[in-house]
Every structure is written in C-alpha cells, then in structure tokens.
Amino acid sequence: MQVGEFLYEGKAKQIFATDDAKVVLIKYKDDATAFDGQKKGTIVNKGIINNRVSNLLFQLLEKEGIETHFIKQLNERDTLVKKLAIIPIEVVVRNVIAGSLSQRTGKAEGVELSEPVVELYYKNDELHDPMINEYHIRVMGWATTEQIQEMDRLAHEINAVLKQFYDSIGIILVDFKLEFGLYEGRVVLGDEISPDTCRLWDKVSLEKLDKDRFRRDMGKEAEAYQEVVKRIEAVLA
Ligand code: C5P
C-alpha cells in the first residue's frame, strides 16, 4: 500500500490518499482543541493512544457484527480505513448527565439516565455544531430516513457493547460521539472512538479519564489517557 497525496487536516487527524481509491490513511496527531478550536494545546502521545484505543474498540465492535471503517493499523500513529462518504452529523449517546446536557437541562453532572439518550448535531465548526433533529437531517438532504434510523439503531448497539466493555475494566461510559459515513451504500461507523470523543469516569473514584481534563484545565491529561489504554490493552490486546 502506497501513501498518496495529503487530502485533509482535521483538529486531531490528517488524512492521506492511498493507491487504492477505496482506502485512506489516517494519521493521529497530539494536537488537542476544545470549544470549537478556541482552546489549543497538545497532549503527550495522544495520537498514539487514540489510534490504539480506537482500533481496539473498532475491532471489538466488528466482532459484535458492527461494521466500522477500520482496516489495518500500520504503525503507532497511522491506520488504513475504508474511505467513507461522511454524513455530516455527530451522533452523541449519553448514559449519564454531563457536559452540554447538564447545561441544557440544569441537572447535575453524574445523574444516571433511565435509558440512553441519542442526540444529533450538524457537524459544522463555523456554526458551532448546532443540535438538530431528524427532520432537519432529512429536509436538508444530509441523510435519508432509512439512514437516520440505521444510525440510531447502530448508536444503541455500539453503546450496549462499549458500556458493558468499559464497565468490565472499571470505567463508566458517561457519553460519547460517533460519526458515520456511506460505504458501498451501507451506513458504516467512521472517525474515532477515543478519550477525545468519550467521557470516561473511573467507576470507584469517579476520576475523569478523558478530554474534559484538557477542556477544564484539570491537568494530568496524558496520564489519564495512558490509564485508559492500559486498561483496554489488558483485555483486548
Ligand atoms: O459537549 P457535550 O456534552 O455535548 O459532549 C457529549 C460527548 O460528545 C462528549 O463525550 C464529548 O467528548 C463528545 N463530543 C465530541 N465532539 C464534539 C462534541 C462532543 O467528541 N464535537
């Protein structure tokens, strides 16, 4: 597999073409941003950890019959994935009140929800990723009714698998964000699932092991990310 031209740079990743038109290479960076890029920094070895965490979780999901874009990890920071036509929607799944749900409802962080809550956001930095609903998605032509239903079904399935897995390594999966795309007409899970895109709390101490440490200037981000990958590798590697 030959690495081709540079295609795109996101906040945490770069994407390169390959000699296979259906495959792209993701390179994970250490750059960290929050609040639509207003806060910038780096977390030591974050790219290496997120590449590893994401790929181990994608392989766990594949084993459970959930298709992801993962093909093969090449090295510490580089992974080959299926080239998806990205659906510009961020699907957030919540098990426990935190972050923007806490702000939006005035309810305290840490309260367990009686059932998972799925939220939809339009992926657009300039507009600050506004929350939208399935009517907006359909009418704006971002996805069809069937694709929206499939994303919802997959979001619940992925949550069930990941929530149970994290519980088995002493971590509460508070909430997380997913992105999907189309591959050969199918809705396939893309992007990453990592401490950048999830809220992960230690089950006993409730210590935050995710990007909230960076967002809230709590320090010890790298140590928290290391702790997550260590616990995951102990079971999945
Ligand atoms: O900020 P909020 O509470 O809505 O975030 C919910 C979850 O989605 C968190 O785990 C957060 O890390 C993730 N998220 C993300 N990318 C965004 C927005 C939220 O990974 N653009």
Segments making up each domain of the chain, as ranges: 3-82, 85-221
* CATH C-level class of 3-82: alpha beta
Cα(130)–Cα(123) distance, rounded to whole angstroms?
8
Nearest residue to 232 (alpha-carbon basis) of 157, 162, 166, 160: 166
Contact criterion met (CB below 8 Å) for 27 and 13: yes
- CA 154 – ligand 1 centroid, Å: 18
Does ligand 1 have an atom closer than 6 angstroms to the CB of 197? yes
Is the distance from CB of 120 to CB of 137 less than 8 angstroms?
yes
Cβ count near 32 (within 10 Å): 19
Ligand 1 centroid, distance to 46 Cα (angstroms): 17
Over the stretch 26-76, which tens digit does the pLDDT of each residue have?
999 999 999 988 999 999 999 999 999 999 999 999 999 999 999 999 999
91: Cβ contacts below 8 Å, ≥ 6 apart: 118, 119, 120, 151, 152, 155, 177, 178, 179, 180
What is the per-residue pLDDT for 1? 79
Question: Would you say the CB of residue 46 lies under 6 angstroms from ligand 1?
Answer: no
Residue-wise pLDDT tens digits, 100-139: 999 999 999 999 999 999 999 999 999 999 999 999 999 9
Share of the chain above pLDDT 90, in %: 97
Return the sign of the alpha-carbon dihedral for residues 22, 23, 29, 32.
Answer: positive
Question: What is the CA(197)–ligand 1 centre distance, in A?
Answer: 6
**Please, what is the average pLDDT of the chain?**
97
- Ligand 1 centroid to residue 35 C-alpha, Å: 10
Write the residue with the smallest CA distance to atom 21 of ligand 1.
129
Task: Decide if pLDDT at 198 tops 90.
Answer: yes
Written out in words, the top-level CATH class of the domain with range 85-221 is alpha beta
Residue from 40, 9, 72, 29 nearest 194 by CA: 29
